[in-house]
Structure 1
Amino acid sequence: MVGVSYIQTEYPLHWLVWNNNSSSLEEELGKRIHDKEKKDNRGRSPLMLAVTLGHMESVRSLLNFEANVNCENADGWSVLQEAVATGDPELLQLILERRDFQRYSNRMAGIPELLQKLKQAPDFYVEMKWEFTSWVPLVSRMCPSDTYKVYKRGSNVRIDTTLLGFDHTNWQRGNRSYVFQGHNDGATMLEIDHDARSVYSEQMRAPPDSLVLSPSEEAISQRLTTPIVTTYIDTDKISFERNKAGVWGWRSDKSEVVNSHECKVFSATNVELVTKTRTEHLTETDKELARSKHIRTPLQNFLQPIADVPETSSAPQTEEIVNSTNPTNITPEEYFDSEIDLAGRDIGRPKELSKKVQKFKATLWLCENYPLSLPEQILPIVDLMAISSSHFAKLRNFIQMQLPAGFPVKIEIPIFHVLNARITFGNIFGMDVDVPNVSHIQEEDRLTCVLDDVVFQAPPSYSKLTGVESRRQFSTEEEDDLLQFAIQQSLIEAGTEKEEVDIWEALKAQRPSRPTTPNLAEEERQLQRAIQASLAMCNHTAVSTDSDNTSPEVDSELDMVLRLSEQEQKQLEEQQMEEQKLLEQVLQLSLTEK
C-alpha cells in the first residue's frame, strides 16, 4: 500500500483537496508548477475530487485558478453532474456559474480557429437534408425535417435553416441565416431573421473575467429534484461491414445511387446507445414523481422488448452513514493506490444507478470520388454547428470515428429511443438546382465553386438589433432535453374524454382544452384519428401476444375510435392492416438481427 509521502509527491493537489486544506491549496496553485487538470488513478481531477467529496472551500480555490469544469471522470459523469449528486444547492450554483462561463468562453474562442481552418480549404456550397425517421407508425410524421444550406468562401460561412427548435408544444419554424465572418483578430456572427427582416450582430470574442452567468433559482431547484441522466453512443464495439445485395444464394456488395453519386453501402453494427440515470440526490417524493412521469403506455410496453436491454444497480444503503461523502470509509492510502481493487466501494454519496443499453444499426452511403473533403470542409462546419446544436454534436461524435474510405453522402444514425436521423448531402455547388449567387467553373482537373459577396452580408433594408434579449437560442442541453421530451410525449395517449384530441394536445399529454371546431384542417383531423387508431391497434396487438391473460376492457378513448362512421371505419381498417404488416416486418427483422 502506498504511503502519504508518495501521495504528496505524485498527487500534491489531490492530497490537499482530500484534506480540504484550501489555504495550502491556493498557495500551491499560485506557484503554477502543478498540473491542476492531472487525474488520479481513479480518473478524477482535483476539482472533480473536491466536488465529489463536497469540499466547498477547495472547490472555490480551484475555480479561482480556472480549473476546468467541463471534464468527466472515469465513469463519464461531468463535474456538474457530480455537483448535482451532492444535493448541495450552493455548490451546484458555484459549479453552474463557472461551467456556463467556461463553455461560453471556449465557444467564442474556438470559432475564429474553426473559420481559419476553413479559410485554407476550397470554397463550396452544399445542402444537408435532415430527416428524423422512426419505425414506429406515424411518429415520423410528428418529427421535424429540415435542409441546411451551407455556403463557404474563405473564412466566411453562412448556414440557412428553417427549423429553429422545439418550444414545449410546437416545432418552431422560421427562415434564418447564420453568418460567420472571419477576421484577422476574431470573428463576427450575424443572425438574420428573414421573417422579421432583422439582424443581430455579435463579436465572437472571449468574455471578460468579471462576467457572471448566474443560474436562476428555478434552474437550481429543477436539477436538484430530477434524476441525473446521461446518454451517449458507445463507439468501442462498433464495426463496419459492407452491405450485400442479391437473391438465391448470389450475394454481391451493395451499391446505391444517392443524388447522382454512386455509393457503397455500409452498416455500422454494435451501435449501442447507453442511458445512465442516477437518483441518490432525490427525496422519496421526488423519486415517486419521476417514476410517475415515466409510466409506460401500452405502446411503450409493446416496443420495450425490441429496443431496450435494461441493467439496474444500486449501492447498498447502510443504516447509519457517519461521513456522507465517504460512506465506506476509504482511506487515502487505499484510494490513491492503483493496485487496490475497491470492489464497488467509492467516495461520494452511495450511488443509485440504473443503466439502459439500446442496440441499433447505423447505415452509411460512401462515395469515393465526391467533390468535398470530409475532414477539411465538412468537419469544421459540423464543429461550428455543434456549438449550439445537439443534433450536430451527435453527428460529429459519429463521423469522427474511423469510417471506411469515402465521403458519407448519406448517414443514418440513431438519435433517441425510437428515432433515427438521416443526413443526406446534395446539390453540391448548386449543380442540381440553381442557387442564387452560387455558380461553378469546370476546370481541366477540378470543379471550382464561386460565391458572390452578397451571400455573406445582411440585406441593407433589415433592421439592426442589439442586446442578448433580442434573440433566443436553446442551449445544447435544452434542445436535447426538449427533443427527448417531444418524442416521449408523442408515444403517450392523451386525454380520457370522448372528445377529439388535436396533435399538440397529444404532445402535451393533456385533456382537450376546447371542443373540436369545424374549421380544423382536414389533414390535421385525419392525422389525429390515425394516431388514435395506431395506438388502438398497437394496444390490441400487445394484448394478443399474452396468451395467458384475457383481453382487458376497451378504453373509452378507443371506444371512440371504434364508433367512427362506417366510411371512416373502413379507411381506418385498411390503414391498420398496412401498419400491422409494417410492425410485423419490424418485429421479425429485430428478432432476426438479435
Structure 2
Amino acid sequence: MAGPGPTFPLHRLVWANRHRELEAALNSRQHDIEQEDPRGRTPLELAVSLGNLESVRVLLRHNANVGKESCQGWAVLQEAVSTGDPEMVQLVLQYRDYQRATQRLAGIPELLNKLRQAPDFYVEMKWEFTSWVPLVSKMCPSDVYRVWKRGENLRVDTSLLGFEHMTWQRGRRSFIFKGQEAGALVMEVDHDRQLVHTETLGLTLHEPEALLATMRPSEEHVASRLTSPIVSTHLDTRNVAFERNKCGIWGWRSEKMETVSGYEAKVYSATNVELVTRTRTEHLSDQDKSRSKGGKTPFQSFLGMAQQHSSHNGAPVQQAASPTNPTAISPDEYFDPNFSLESRNIGRPIEMSSKVQRFKATLWLSEEHPLSLGDQVMPIIDLMAISNAHFAKLRDFITLRLPPGFPVKIEIPLFHVLNARITFSNLCGCDEPLSSVWVPAPSSAIAASASPFPCEVDPAVFEVPDGYSVLGTERSEPLRDEDDDLLQFAIQQSLLEAGTEAEQVTAYEEQLQLERHVPALGLLPSLSAHGSALPSHASPGRALQESLQMSIEPGSPGSPHGTPPAPPSFEEQLRLALELSSREEEERERRGRQEEEDFQRVLQLSLTEH
C-alpha cells in the first residue's frame, strides 16, 4: 500500500523547476495553486524567488494570483524585479496587468447591481495634495472626480490622467459603465481626441489571449524597473484610534464642528497612523546604486527614500549555494515547518532601507449627509482602487471602523511630506447647478425637505457624444502604472522643473514663503538689491531654483576680504531648507502638546478650587 504523497507537491516541483511535471499536476486540478508553504509562499512566489522562469510561466498560464503579497509585504512583481531578470519582470508585469483588467471587468456586475438598488445621484470628489514643506503644495496637482449614477449606469470624469516621462499628464477622460443583459459595456471616452474605446464584459472574459496580448509591457518599461529602486509605501492602521478635535481656549473648550460642503461635520483625528516606506536595491548594478544614492535629491529623501537601516540575508554564502539560494538551504530544511532557518533565506540577499513615520489623519464626519458610504460610494472606490494607488489607500482607510457619519472630507498621508485631502461636494448639483442633474419640483414632504434626493440624472451623459469615433477593445496606449515609486519621482520632477499656468508665482511670493522657513541661512538675496521679481510666467520650481542659486552678495558679513564665498550647491541649500522646515514642524507640534498640557493643568486647578 502506497504511503501518503509528499507535502507541498506543487512547491517541490517548483523547487526542482520540473515545469513539465508541474504542468501535468496543474492540469489534473487536484492541487491548490494558492497553497502556502511553511515559509508563507505560494508556488508562484517560490518560483519567482528561486528565479525558475519556466515554472513561473506554467503557473501564470494557470492563473496563479500575481496580486498576492508575501508575509513581508512584497508583491510578486517586486520580487520579480529583485531577481534582475528582464524576461521574468516582463512576464510577471504582463500577467499582473492582465489580472487587474479581468478583476476590474469581473467586479463590474456586482458594482452595477449595488448601484441599481441605490438612489440616483451626482457627486464630486476633489483630491488635493498638501504638504508642510514650502512650495510643495503649489507644485502638486489636484483633480476633481465627477460621478454620475443613474440606475445601473455609472460615469466618472477625471482630468489628471497620470504621468509619463516625469511630467504630469492631463486631459479630459470619461469612464462609463453601462449595465446590459449579457454583462456590462465599459467605455473610455477621450474628449481631447474624440475617441471612445469600448469593452464588452462577456466578450473580453471569453477572449483572454487577445486581452493578454495587449498587456505586454515595452522593453523600456521593463528596463526602467530594473534600474530603479523597489519602493513600497503603505499605511499601517492596526493601532489607529479616533478622537474628537477640540476648539476654544482655557476655561472654555468644546468639541469641534465645521461646515463642509453645506453639512455640519464633527472633526476627528485618527492617531497612531503609521506611514511605512521601504526601499530595496539588491537588483541594481553598482552604477545604478551610485546614481540612486549620489543623485538623490532632498525631495526624494523626504518623500520616503532616505536610508535608515539595512537588512540582509546575513548568513555567510556557502560553496553549494546558488545566486537564488545563497545559504544553500536544502528542500528538506525549507519544507520542514519545525526547522528554523533563522537569518537564512532564499532569493537574492536583500538590501533594504526603511522609514517609519507616525501621522495624524483627519476626518470630517457628517451625520446629516444623505449619501450612503457603503451602498453608493464604496462600490465606486472599490472599482477605482483596482488600478489607482491613491484610491487603494483611501479604501484601506475608510474601511476601518469609523465613528458614525459620512466622511464628507478626509485627509490622509500618502508620503512623508505629502497628504491627500478628499472632499465630497456639489451633491446632486446643489452647490453649482448642472444641466445634466436636477432635483424634481417638490411634490411631497420628502421632496420638499432639505435633502437633495430624489435626484434625477440625464440619461444622455452615459451616451457617446456626436462625432466621436468608437473603437473596439484595442487600446492605442498602454495602461498607466500607478505604483508609488513612480509617483514620487514625478512629484520630485514637478518641483524642480517648469510648472503649469495654474502654478505660477512670483519670486517675491516665493521669497516670503521661504524666508519663513530659512530665516537664518541668508540664502535669498533681497529684491531691492536685484531689482524686481522674476517674470510672472516663471514656474515655482524654476524660480525657487534660481533664487537659491544666486550667490551671496560680495562684501557681505562673513565674506573675508570682500570676495564672495563659493555658494552652496542648490541641492545642499534645498536640503537645509527642508531640514529647517522639518524642525519647524516638529517645534509646532511640541508647542501644541505643551499648550494642551498647560490647559489640562489649568483645568484641574480650576476644578479643585471649586
Is the TM-score greater than 0.5? yes
**Does the CA contact (< 8 Å) of 2:549 and 2:569 recur in 1?**
no
Structure 2 residue corresponding to 1:313, chosen from 311, 314, 325: 311
CA distance in 2, matches of 1:155, 1:189: 12
Asked whether the 8 Å contact 1:372–1:407 carries over to 2, the reply is yes
Residues 309 and 357 of structure 1 are in contact (CA less than 8 Å); yes or no, is this contact kept in structure 2? Answer: no
Q: Equivalents in 2 of 1:251, 1:311: separation in Å? A: 43
Q: Which structure 2 residues correspond to residues 361-510 of structure 1 after superposition, within 5 A?
A: 361-441=360-440, 443-445=444-446, 447-466=453-472, 468-470=474-476, 474-477=480-483, 480-490=484-494
Structure 1, residues 248-287: CA drift from partner, whole Å, max 9, x if none?
A: 1543221111111111111111222211122222222221
Distance (Å, rounded) in 2 between the aligned partners of 1:172 and 1:58? 38
- Greater mean deviation of Cα atoms: 435-444 or 231-240: 435-444
> Deviation at 1:379?
0.8
Residue 288 of structure 2, aligned match among 265, 283, 286: 286
Shift of 1:439: 1.3
Superposed counterparts of 1:229-308, under 5 Å: 229-294=231-296, 296-297=297-298
Rounded to whole Å, the distance in 2 between the matches of 1:490 and 1:460 is 36
Aligned match of 1:60: 57
Counterpart amino acid of residue 393 in structure 2: K
Cα separation, partners in 2 of 1:26 and 1:216, compared to 1, 3 Å: same
Amino acid at match of 1:310: Q
| Counterpart Cα distance in 2 of 1:383 and 1:24 | 38
Does the aligned pair in 2 maintain the 1:244–1:254 contact within 8 Å? yes
1:476 is paired with a residue whose SS is coil
Q: Which residue of 2 aligns with 1:542?
A: none
CA distance in 2, matches of 1:48, 1:291: 29
When normalised by structure 2's length, the TM-score is 0.78
> 1:171 offset after TM fit, Å?
3.0
Whole-Å separation in 1 of the counterparts to 2:491 and 2:174: 27
Summarize deviations over 1:146-195 as a string: whole Å, max 9, x none.
22211101111111222223343543333332221121212222233334
Moved more, 275-284 or 85-94: 85-94
Alpha-carbon distance, 1:473 to partner:
5.1
Show CA shifts across 1:65-87 (max 9, x none).
22222212111112222222222
The CA deviation at 1:526 is 7.5
Q: State the one-letter code of the partner of 2:81.
A: V
The answer to whether residue 529 in structure 2 is matched with residue 531 in structure 1 is no
Check 1:111–1:502 CA distance in 2 against 1; reply closer, same or farther (3 A cut): farther
Query: How far apart in 2 are the matches of 1:423 and 1:33?
Result: 47
1:401 is aligned with what amino acid? L
What is residue 26 of structure 1 aligned with on the other side? 23
For the Cα contact (< 8 Å) 1:167–1:482, is it kept in 2? no
1:331 counterpart residue number? 330
Sort the Cα spacing of 1:18 and 1:320 in 2 relative to 1 into closer, same or farther, 3 A. closer
> Which 5+ residue runs of structure 1 have no aligned equivalent?
495-500, 504-519, 540-550, 559-576
Deviation at 1:9, TM superposition (A): 4.9
Shift in CA distance, 59/191, structure 1 to aligned 2, threshold 3 Å = closer
Residue 37 (structure 1) shift: 0.4
Q: For 1:311 and 1:229, locate their aligned partners in 2 and report how far apart those are by CA, in whole Å.
A: 15
2-side partners of 1:470 and 1:521: how far apart? 41
Higher mean displacement: 357-366 or 206-215 = 206-215
Question: 1:226 aligned to 2:223?
Answer: no
* Equivalent residue letter for 1:431: C
Cα deviation 1:327-374 (Å, max 9, x = unaligned): 223333433343444222111222112111132221100011211011
Partner Cα separation in structure 1 for residue 273 and residue 454 of structure 2: 37
- Residues 452 and 139 (structure 1 numbering): CA distance in 2 closer, same or farther, change over 3 Å? same
Tell me which residue corresponds to 2:170.
Answer: 173
Q: Which of 29, 48, 52 in structure 2 is aligned with 1:51?
A: 48
User: CA contact under 8 A between 2:279 and 2:353: conserved in structure 1?
Assistant: yes
Moved more, 137-146 or 480-489: 480-489
Report if the CA contact (8 A) 1:311-1:357 is conserved.
Answer: no
Deviations 1:428-485 (A, max 9, x none): 11122211121124553472111121121122233434564545652323xx444311
Instruction: Tell me the equivalent position of 2:80.
Output: 83
SS for the counterpart of 1:345 is coil
In structure 2, what residue type is equivalent to 1:77? Answer: W
Q: Does 425-434 or 438-447 show the bigger shift?
A: 438-447
Q: Which one is further off, 524-533 or 242-251?
A: 524-533
Q: 1:100 to 1:526 in 2, by over 3 A?
A: closer
What letter corresponds to residue 355 of structure 1 in structure 2? Answer: S
Distance in 1 (alpha carbons) for counterparts of 2:381 and 2:272: 24
Q: Aligned-pair distance for 1:38?
A: 1.1
Matched with 2:118 is 121
Task: Within 5 Å, give how 1:128-207 maps onto structure 2.
Answer: 128-168=125-165, 170-204=167-201, 205-206=204-205
Percent of aligned positions with the same letter in both sequences?
52
Q: Secondary structure at the match of 2:24?
A: helix
Alignment of 1:353-364 (within 5 A): 353-364=352-363
Partner Cα distance (1:467, 1:531) in 2 = 45
Deviation at 1:378, TM superposition (A): 0.4
Closer, same or farther: CA 251–19 of 1 in aligned 2, 3 Å = same
Show the counterpart of 1:343. 342
Whole-Å separation in 2 of the counterparts to 1:167 and 1:22 = 38
Aligned to 2:602: none
What displacement does 1:242 show? 1.5
The 1:330–1:307 alpha-carbon spacing in structure 2 relative to 1, beyond 3 Å, is closer
CA–CA distance in structure 2, aligned partners of residues 93 and 300 of structure 1:
27
> SS of the counterpart of 1:312?
coil
CA-CA distance at 1:425 after TM superposition? 0.6
Q: For residue 454 of structure 2, what is the amino acid of its counterpart?
A: T
CA distance in 1, matches of 2:472, 2:305: 47
Give the whole-Å Cα distance in 2 for the aligned partners of 1:274 and 1:232. 6
Which of 520-529 and 20-29 deviates more?
A: 520-529
Cα distance in 2, alignment partners of residues 421 and 117 from structure 1: 27
Q: CA 1:117–1:194 in structure 2 vs 1: closer, same or farther (change >3 Å)? A: same
What CA distance in whole angstroms lies between the structure 1 residues aligned with 2:506 and 2:300? 21
Q: Aligned with 1:311: secondary structure?
A: coil
Give yes or no for contact 1:227–1:277 (8 Å, CA) kept in 2. Answer: yes
Preserved contact between residue 81 and residue 225 of structure 2 (Cα < 8 Å): yes
CA 1:340–1:484: 2 relative to 1, 3 Å: same
- Residues 535 and 368 of structure 1: is their aligned pair in 2 closer, same or farther, counting only changes over 3 Å? farther
Spell out, residue by residue over 1:97-120, the C-alpha distance to the aligned partner (whole angstroms, 9 max, x if none): 332322222222222332222112
Contact 2:534/2:543 (CA < 8 Å) preserved in 1? no
Residue 580 (structure 1) shift: 13
Alpha-carbon distance between aligned partners in 2 of 1:382 and 1:580, rounded to the nearest angstrom: 36
AA aligned opposite 1:483: L
TM-score if structure 1 supplies the norm length?
Answer: 0.80
Counterparts of 1:62 and 1:300, CA distance in 2: 37
Distance 1:54 1:529 in 2: 45
CA contact (8 A) 1:242 1:253 kept: yes
Count matched residues.
532
**Take 1:534 and 1:521, find their aligned partners in 2: how far apart are those partners?**
9
Secondary structure, counterpart of 1:24 in structure 2: helix
Letter in 2 for 1:58: S
Corresponding residue for 1:546?
A: none
- Return the alpha-carbon distance in structure 2 between the equivalents of residues 319 and 254 of structure 1: 60
* Contact 1:84/1:92 (8 A) holds in 2: yes
Report the secondary structure of 2:308's partner residue. Answer: strand
Structure 1 position 585, deviation (Å) = 5.4
The question of whether the paired residues in 2 share the 8 Å contact of 1:148 and 1:160 is answered with: yes
- Unaligned 5+ segments in structure 2 are 499-504, 508-532, 553-563, 572-576, 594-610
